Structure 1
Amino acid sequence: MQLVTNCILRWEDRLLMLRKPRRGWWVAPGGKVETGESLLEAVTREYREETGLTLIRPELRGVFTVIVQNGEELVNHWMLFTFYAESFSGLVNATSQEGHLEWVGIDTLPNRPMAEGDRIFIEHIVHHPTLLTGKFTYTPDYKLLGWKPENTLPVFR
């Protein structure tokens, strides 16, 4: 099972999002946790590598089990740890090997192509200062089969 971190970075009424070239979907920047890294170390490193920005005081806001299945066959399984931040230092990279970076208006998110599970958790995290946990189940082509929220808890600062 792979561990993955990402971060929703908010600046006023915009989020820094990454448009991945493969599907053209918008995502929160992030990536895989390397051996020996803490979740905070991983999200800070991955975010800096992809965007050029250093996150300041990111808070864990989402813990998600992600399952990909083809019928009854389990194809993939990973854990996604989503952080939220409103402070950063540095300048956004002009280019990224991972895709196109852009500050996008929160009000434009419903019209942007993205995984349906991302749409669910981004909406919650942007508007609620709680820790959301749950399980997303997808087909191999990332059609959302199910979302099972488990709980929401206050974020401890």
Structure 2
Amino acid sequence: MRRLQRITNCVLTKNDKALLLQKPSRGWWVAPGGKMELGESIKESAEREFREETGLQVENVNLRAVFTIVIVENDQPVNEWMMFTFQATSYKGQLFEQSPEGKLEWKNISEVAKLPMAAGDRHMFSHVLHDQGVMHGTFYYTTDFDLVSYRLSTE
């Protein structure tokens, strides 16, 4: 029986840079984040996960995207999760030299689209870094994380 997982992440932007995390397993760049804990709001989860992975306390945190991510095998859903993406524009604290989750690096916003990442994250980063409002969508991936199809809308 599959269980719906809830994930939050946050894109911290400052001037023309975004703080990203490179995960060691695939070498993909992501927005710092992770699984929600019982009883947390999505905003509390995003702030906690960001702090645990970067050492920074984000401020001015706003919801920017909500996605359903479905993993399919033999045309059948085998896993599903919801991802809530926030953006922050200021922070307090000292950035970890090394995150427990991988390598942290400030990247020029202009180079983010060229980095290795999940195909759906390209849409998320493009929206958060260049557009306004909240994006909604669903991504369908294979178990190897090849993007099969997607649909997106913004408000």
Work out whether the TM-score is over 0.5: yes
For each residue in 1:75-96, what CA deviation from the matched residue of structure 2 results, as whole angstroms up to 9, or x when unmatched? Answer: 2100000001111111110111
Q: Does 1:108 align with 2:111?
A: yes
Measure, in 2, the Cα distance between the counterparts of 1:88 and 1:129.
21
Q: Helix, strand or coil: the match of 1:111?
A: coil
Q: Does 1:47 align with 2:47?
A: no
Q: Which residue matches 2:93?
A: 90
Q: Which residue matches 1:69?
A: 72
Q: Which residue matches 2:154?
A: 152
Q: Which residue matches 2:133?
A: 130
Q: Which residue matches 1:79?
A: 82
Alpha-carbon distance, 1:146 to partner: 0.9
Measure, in 1, the Cα distance between the counterparts of 2:132 and 2:110.
19
On the 8 A contact 2:62/2:86 being kept in 1, the answer is: yes
User: Identity across aligned pairs (percent)?
Assistant: 46
**Which sections of structure 1, spanning at least 5 residues, go unmatched?**
none
**TM-score, normalisation: structure 2:** 0.95
For each residue in 1:82-116, what CA deviation from the matched residue of structure 2 results, as whole angstroms up to 9, or x when unmatched? Answer: 00111111111011110000001111122210001
The answer to which of 45-54 and 101-110 deviates more is: 101-110
On the 8 A contact 2:113/2:126 being kept in 1, the answer is: no
CA RMSD of superposed structures (Å): 0.8
The answer to which of 104-113 and 129-138 deviates more is: 104-113
Structure 1: 4+ residue segments shifted above 3 A: none
Q: 1:8 aligns with which of 6, 11, 19?
A: 11
Alpha-carbon distance, 1:71 to partner: 2.0
Measure, in 2, the Cα distance between the counterparts of 1:110 and 1:62.
17
Alpha-carbon distance, 1:127 to partner: 1.1
Aligned length: 152
Report the residue type matching 2:154 in the other structure: T
